Amino acid sequence: MRKQAKEVNLRTLIKAAWLARDRAHAPYSGFKVGAVLENDKGQLFSGCNVENANYTTGLCAERTAIVKAVSEGALKPGGIRRMVIAAKADRPAGPCGSCRQVIEEFAGEDTRVVLTNEPGKVALEFTHRELLPHAFNARDLDKE
C-alpha cells in the first residue's frame, strides 16, 4: 500500500499564492494573480500571471504553476491535490475558461480549488468538478 503524502497546511498555500502574486508581471491590466498547486506528493509549485503587450500571448498564474510542475516531472494527470489562487479584488476571481480546462486535465478525484482575495483569508473553496462541470476530458477521446 502506497503511503499518502501529508497535506500542506492551507495557510502555507495561501501565503505562497500571495507571494507568487507579488512576482506577477501585469503592467497593462494592473491585475496581478498568483497561484500555487500542491501535488499528490505534497510538493508546491507557484505561478504568477505574465502579461505581454500583445495581450493574447500572456500567461495566467494557474497555467504557469501547472506547466512548472509538469516541466519538473512532478505532475501527471490526476496529480493536483489543491490549488490556491490569489487576486486582490472586490470579489474572488476565479480562473479563466482555459485555466479551468487545464486544471481539469491534471485534477484528481478530490482536487480542491481555493480562491483568496485578501491575504490570509479563504473567500471560496470548491471542487474542480464544480469549477468546470461536464468538462471535456481524456475519456471523451476514447475510441471504440
Q: List, for residues 10-60, the tens digit of each pLDDT value.
A: 999 999 999 999 999 999 999 999 999 999 999 999 999 999 999 889 999
Q: List, for residues 82-100, the tens digit of each pLDDT value.
A: 999 999 999 999 999 999 9
Backbone angles phi, psi at 49, to 5 degrees: -75, 145
* Domain spans in the chain, listed from the N-terminal domain onward: 10-136
**C-alpha dihedral over 57, 130, 15, 47, to 10 degrees?**
-20
CATH superfamily of 10-136: Cytidine Deaminase, domain 2 (3.40.140.10)
The response to whether 54 counts as a known ligand-binding position is yes
**This prediction's pTM:** 0.92
The response to whether 49 counts as a known ligand-binding position is yes
The response to whether 28 counts as a known ligand-binding position is no
List, as one string, the DSSP characters of 63-113: HHHHHHHHHTT---TT-EEEEEEEE-SSS--PPPHHHHHHHHHHEEEEEEE
Could you tell me which residues are beta bridge partners of residue 125?
A: 114
Residues acting as catalytic residues:
62
